[in-house]
Each structure stands twice: as structure tokens, then as C-alpha cells.
Structure 1
């Protein structure tokens, strides 16, 4: 059996996530003693022994939805969003004179991962739905994490980044790079990062165990994790979101200035 909570697991939140997992495990009555922090989450998500993990909306709707059970969606109380929903904040350097996203046509986007809803699909949907007439496809610097994307913008290695609103709050609380950045605009709300389990498991007892565990968390841990509750969002709400444009795989020369 395996379990992981990789999406908002940082040096600051790790201990609180461990305590959350112990409460979930005790309530559910099964699962590994410790969270897996070493395996590639994209592999873990499809492990037949998966008890619980948290994935991203884009991998979920591009195929994972048919190979796992949706358990529920954590609610982080993101401002301006329904329970369980979140959005991306498009951040730029505080000193950048450009005041509208339209002025960033031709700019370079720092992107955590091409498989990310918040870091990639959300900003591309914002451009398409707003009729901006351009895309950042082919003009990205892939950084491996939202924090690294924020740092790339802060340091001038990229012009802007789309940052998950929950991660942005964590960055604001803990990272000096946030002081060099400002939010240019925010995308519309989309379903948040869902909890999943293997197809061989009934998701209902897990939902109950998670809900009970969140309520039992110490207030300090809930504050650290920014966690309010777990809600049920239908899989269809994830699948209805648009996919980002296809990309030609980037070379280092093409994608890195």
C-alpha cells in the first residue's frame, strides 16, 4: 500500500501533513505508516496499491479519471471561489511597468509543469476565453515547481508565471521572492486538486475518514495547511475544463533565453 500528499507538501507543511495522514489512516483503518515522498507522483497515482493521494486537475481529466476513483476535493477557502475550487494568480515583477496581460504578448512564461492545471492550462484558457489572440506555447521556461517559477520571475529569468492560489498564499507566508512580485490578474475558478484512490477501493469510507480527520486537526495544523474541509465535486466538472494547446516539445535552446 502507498499514500502521498504531494501537491502542497513543503518543508513548512510537511509535519502537519504527516499528522493529517495519521488521522486519516486511523479513521480509515488501513494504509502505510508514512507518506511516500520519494516516488514520482505520476507513477504513484496509478499504483494499484494506492490508498490515497492528491493529483492535479489536468492529469485527472487527460486520462487518470478512468484509472482511479475520485474521493473528494479539499477546500482551502480560496477567496472568490466556491468551496473546493481554486484559481491561478498571474504574477509579474513588482517593478514591471506592464499593467495588462495583453502587453505580455511575446513574453516568456515560467511554468511549473506542462501537465499542470494551475500553471499552464488555466492561463491558456484565460487567454483563449478572453480573446487575447496569443498563446505562451513555445515560450515557456519549465521550472519543476510553482516556487521555482515564482523565483524565475523574481530573478528576471522569465516575465510572468501562473501560480496556484493556495501555493501563492504559502509562498507569501514563507518566501522572500513574493516581495518582488505582484498579481497582475487572476483566472476564473476551476475545481481544486482532488484526492484519489485506486480503482479497487471504495472511495466513500476514505471521504468520511478525511472529513473527520480535517475536523480533528489541531487549529495550528489546519492554519498551516490552509485546509477547511473536503467537498464532493463531480468528475464531470473536471472533464468539462478545456485542455491547453498542443505543444512541440521544447529544446533547451528554444525554451531558455
Structure 2
């Protein structure tokens, strides 16, 4: 079996933290497997198709659409998510720190960065957020798009470096970047944010035996119950993990469908 924390390995420290945490979960669960490296730009879709997943991050949008034969294991509860409810996150909409924009509509007509169209936080969440700004029949708010940039870090770099005027960044990824690479985050600022949504989750192949799935779930939850586990969580700015209800993720599918039905198929 394999585990992987690629989606939130946004810095070297975060990548090391996720690898250590996932290895600890395997030991606690008595699972034989490997925490693999799978760096960008390797396509996550190819990873999600593997039949041996047992603790691999998946975006909530493809999960909600049932695009891959997986089951939910656990979802992280970031410390920063608590005001919105445990296990939730947003997309933070960032602009360059010295940019003249004061509100989201000021960026219309500019250049928009995104991660990829299969992403909730890097694409679909913003597309849904922009629906109220579209006039009847309008399908374009920006003159140019930059992407797919694949990772939230590259969106930050594009905005900070002047290659884009605005872009969406997963709020948990933003917090990890702010802690580990403050010099980069100091070059941008948050101008708006999207509505809260369920966090990306760790999944297993649907063929994983139920006993192994239950053991992994117990191991993730138990991290918050002892000092060693708590230290692993603190290193990743997490309160703990929770067992997600797959039905909650249908919210993401509904938001994507709303944009499609409004004729706003492409984020632009």
C-alpha cells in the first residue's frame, strides 16, 4: 500500500512533516506500505487511479464527482479552519502587496492565475464565487489567464512576480507557506476569500479491506491523544483529523454544477 501527502507538501518542512506523520500512522495502524514521493508536475489523476492507495490526499471536487474508485479515510483539521467549523477551508484570493486593488472587482480585466480545472481550491471555488459578478450572458471577467500552474505555491509566485494580478490559494497551503516561507508570502496580500468548504481528504482504494480502513482511521484520530502524535500535528499546524462524511462533499459538486448551468464553464 502507498500513502502520499503531495497536495500539502508546499514547502520542504511541510513535505517532511507529512511524510513523518503518514509513516507514524502506518506504524500505529499496523499497515505494511510506503510513503512515496510524487512531486509536481506529475499528474495527481494518475496517482489517484492506482489500486494500492491507503492514505493519499485527494481534492474534494473529484471525490465528490466519483471520478475515482476510492473511499474516505480521514480529513485534516487545520488550526486556521476553526472559525468556519473544524475541517473546513477556503480559497484566499491574493494580489501583489503593492497592487492598487482594494476589492475583488478592481481586478476584473486583469490576469488571473489558477492551478488546474480539476481543483476546487485552485479553480472551481473561485469560479462559483464569481457568479454574482457576471451580467446576463457574460462569460469573461479577466482578459488573460495564467495556468494550469498545478500547485498553490506557483500561483503565489506568479502573483508575487507580476505574471498574474490575482489568483486563488488553498487557505491551509497559504498558512504553511506563511510559516515556512514568510519572505514569499510578504509579497502578496489577501483581497477576498471564497465560501468555506470541506477539506481535501486522505483516501484509500475501494478494494482496501474494511479492517485495514478502520485501523487507519483509528490511527489518524488517535494522533491527537498522545504527546508524540500531538507533536506531529503541531508541525503541520493541525488540530487533528476527523472521519469525513462523503455526503458533505456533494456541496463541491453542486457549486461546480451551478457554474456550468450559468454558462460559466471556464474560469476566465
TM norm structure 2: 0.83
TM-superposed deviation, 1:189: 0.5
SS of structure 1 residue aligned to 2:35 = coil
Of residues 74, 89, 94, the one that matches 2:76 is 74
TM-superposed deviation, 1:219: 4.6
Stretches (4+) displaced over 6 A: none
What per-residue deviation string (whole Å, max 9, x for no partner) do you get for residues 174-196 of structure 1?
A: 22221111110111100001111
Residues 79, 182 of structure 1: alpha-carbon distance in 2 compared, 3 angstrom cutoff: farther
What is the aligned partner in structure 2 of residue 27 from structure 1? 28
User: In the aligned structure 2, how far is the partner of 1:43 from the partner of 1:214?
Assistant: 32
What per-residue deviation string (whole Å, max 9, x for no partner) do you get for residues 16-50 of structure 1?
A: 22221222111221132433435643222221111
SS of structure 2 residue aligned to 1:12 = helix
SS of structure 2 residue aligned to 1:200 = coil
* Structure 2, unpaired ranges of 5+: none
What is the aligned partner in structure 1 of residue 8 from structure 2? 8
What is the aligned partner in structure 1 of residue 194 from structure 2? 187
What is the aligned partner in structure 1 of residue 38 from structure 2? 37
Residues 69, 227 of structure 1: alpha-carbon distance in 2 compared, 3 angstrom cutoff: same
SS of structure 1 residue aligned to 2:72 = strand
User: In the aligned structure 1, how far is the partner of 2:142 from the partner of 2:225?
Assistant: 42
Q: Provide the alpha-carbon RMSD of the alignment.
A: 2.3
Of residues 170, 180, 185, the one that matches 1:178 is 185
Check conservation: 1:20, 1:213, Cα contact below 8 A: no
Residue 159 (structure 1) aligned with residue 165 (structure 2)? yes
User: In the aligned structure 1, how far is the partner of 2:17 from the partner of 2:108?
Assistant: 41
Check conservation: 1:110, 1:141, Cα contact below 8 A: yes
User: In the aligned structure 2, how far is the partner of 1:140 from the partner of 1:151?
Assistant: 15
Check conservation: 1:215, 1:229, Cα contact below 8 A: no
What is the aligned partner in structure 2 of residue 213 from structure 1? 223
- Mapping for residues 52-131 of structure 1, pairs under 5 Å: 52-64=55-67, 67-77=69-79, 78-128=81-131, 130-131=132-133
Check conservation: 2:4, 2:19, Cα contact below 8 A: no
What per-residue deviation string (whole Å, max 9, x for no partner) do you get for residues 153-198 of structure 1?
A: 1111100011111111112122222111111011110000111101
Residues 137, 96 of structure 1: alpha-carbon distance in 2 compared, 3 angstrom cutoff: closer
Check conservation: 1:102, 1:132, Cα contact below 8 A: no
Is the helix fraction higher in 1 or 2? 2
Check conservation: 1:27, 1:209, Cα contact below 8 A: yes
What is the aligned partner in structure 2 of residue 149 from structure 1? 155
Residues 34, 236 of structure 1: alpha-carbon distance in 2 compared, 3 angstrom cutoff: closer
SS of structure 2 residue aligned to 1:185 = strand
SS of structure 2 residue aligned to 1:73 = strand
User: In the aligned structure 2, how far is the partner of 1:188 from the partner of 1:53?
Assistant: 25
SS of structure 2 residue aligned to 1:140 = strand
TM norm structure 1: 0.86
